Amino acid sequence: MASLMRQSCLSAFRTPLATRNAAGVSQVVAFHASAKKQILPPEPQSIRGTMNDPAPIPTPHPSHGSYHWTFERLVAVGLIPLTIAPFAAGSLNPTTDAILCSLIILHSHVGFQASIIDYFPTRRVPKTASFMNWLLRGFTLTTAVGLYELETNDVGLTETVKRIWKA
């Protein structure tokens, strides 16, 4: 009875690479230096519905799909002339500099949000995805406040870049 209890207790600590031989003794497979380590546990292994059920269609939303893609491209394309113009034509007025700052903030936010959606899917890690989205919102707000302060109380973004470049 004691050896059976000992074997059942030890089975909880057995690595996935361990196997049992004919005598019931646990052996580790050859050529493995350590146990298999997984960062995240596997998703639940269950099948919802039958194999004849169609794939679920997500509900349409105006901020997803082609509108979202078009908005991202317009912001990216808008950055090109606003980035080149101050250095090609000299200093710009504060309004153009403020538009450049706004597009930089939008472009960065949308890009990081796409990374969060890709690497932290809500169905897999909902709490982490929510935390990362709130963290992104906080950093975006902090960046916006910092650029606003640079624009209103200092020389502006393009002039700052020029001074850093010439330093």
Residue 12 has pLDDT above 70, yes or no: no
- What is the C-alpha separation between 54 and 65, in angstroms, rounded? 21
What is the average per-residue pLDDT within 123-149?
95
pTM of the entire predicted model: 0.65
pLDDT digits (tens, 9 = 90+) for 96-128: 889 999 999 999 999 999 999 999 988 888 999
| Geometric angle at alpha carbon 133, from 107 and 70, rounded to 5° | 35
Average pLDDT of the chain, as a whole number: 80
Residue 8 has pLDDT above 60, yes or no: no
The verdict on whether residue 119 carries a ligand-binding annotation is yes
Q: Which residues, listed in sequence order, are joined to residue 19 by a DSSP beta bridge?
A: 27
Q: Which residues, listed in sequence order, are joined to residue 33 by a DSSP beta bridge?
A: none
Which CATH number does 66-166 carry?
1.20.1300.10
